[in-house]
Amino acid sequence: MRKIGFIGVGTMGTPMASNLAKAGYELVVYDRIAEKLKPLTKLGARIASSPADVARQCEVVMTMLPADQAVKEVVLGPGGIAEGASAGLIVIDSSTVLPATSKQIAAALAKVNVAMLDAPVTGSEPQAVDGKLTFIVGGEKETYGKCVPLFEAMGKANYHMGPNGAGSYTKLSNNTISAITLVAFSEGVVLATKAGIDPKLFVEVISLGGARSGQIENKAPKVLNRDFHPNFATALMYKDLGLAGEVAKELNIPTPALAIAREMLNMAIAKGYGLEDVCSVIKCYEEWAHIEVHK
């Protein structure tokens, strides 16, 4: 498979598609905001006129879109991938969506002999740029096997989690842990800073103990440097926790920590931090404590 379509070239999609181009794949790209496609055309990508046009030209089409409805429209709507697909096409959706959405799209595509993988990622913009994402994949194992070289071009690891929907279940569970951990870190580091502890030294100490985590390793330097550029926006994490809450209802599981973390992100959005990085939630705690956490 050499001709790959990519639809949705935002914060994550652009570096992912760029790494495919750098790995030697022939790219056909589409985004409803044409301006976003310019960096990829410089790498040799061709611009398609619609998702259907992408599907007509490619063996595999990847999507990286912000929400469930956008994925449904791009894949199944008028001018969508399904409209232009031929039997044997593979669709890989790396968006973070409900497992039910992944299953629905997979079932619809199967009727026209198109295979679908839900393959959301762990990691944010820096990992996408460096080609160090982790792909967590749901779908037929044979289809997954065919696509491993693509995952390897964009990431450091990839895992087949089970049937369609399994990738999405895994991603939402992962983001639940990430958000709860970030809120816990915000609370703890503000507590230590208010008590007179050097926050940089505090971060170093917890990195060696039971409180250490990848989320803190990623976000603590941003907080200490007052860098709230959105590697992963607060509004997007809030959306993802809403999806995780829907899954919890589906499975009849109480998730009180998830609910608290989501409400903290809602407060941050209300303060105007929705388009800032998710670590901006710490500014709510700082306001309450009348201190600022920095180096």
Tell me the catalytic residues.
171
CB-based contact 12:121 (threshold 8 Å): yes
First-to-last C-alpha distance (Å) of the chain: 48
Read out DSSP for 21-48?
HHTT-EEEEE-SSGGGGHHHHTTTPEEP
Cα separation, 102 vs 169, in Å, equals: 10
Contacts of 127 (CB under 8 A, 6+ apart): 133
Q: How far is CA 195 from CA 33, 126, 271, 285, in A?
A: 48, 33, 25, 14
Q: Is 233 helix (H, G, I), strand (E, B) or coil?
A: strand
Which of 54, 120, 123 shows the shortest CA–CA distance to 83?
Answer: 54
Q: How far is CA 59 from CA 3, 56, 91, 104, 141, in A?
A: 6, 8, 9, 21, 18
Q: Is 128 helix (H, G, I), strand (E, B) or coil?
A: helix
Q: How many CA atoms lie within 13 A of 57 on its CB side?
A: 21
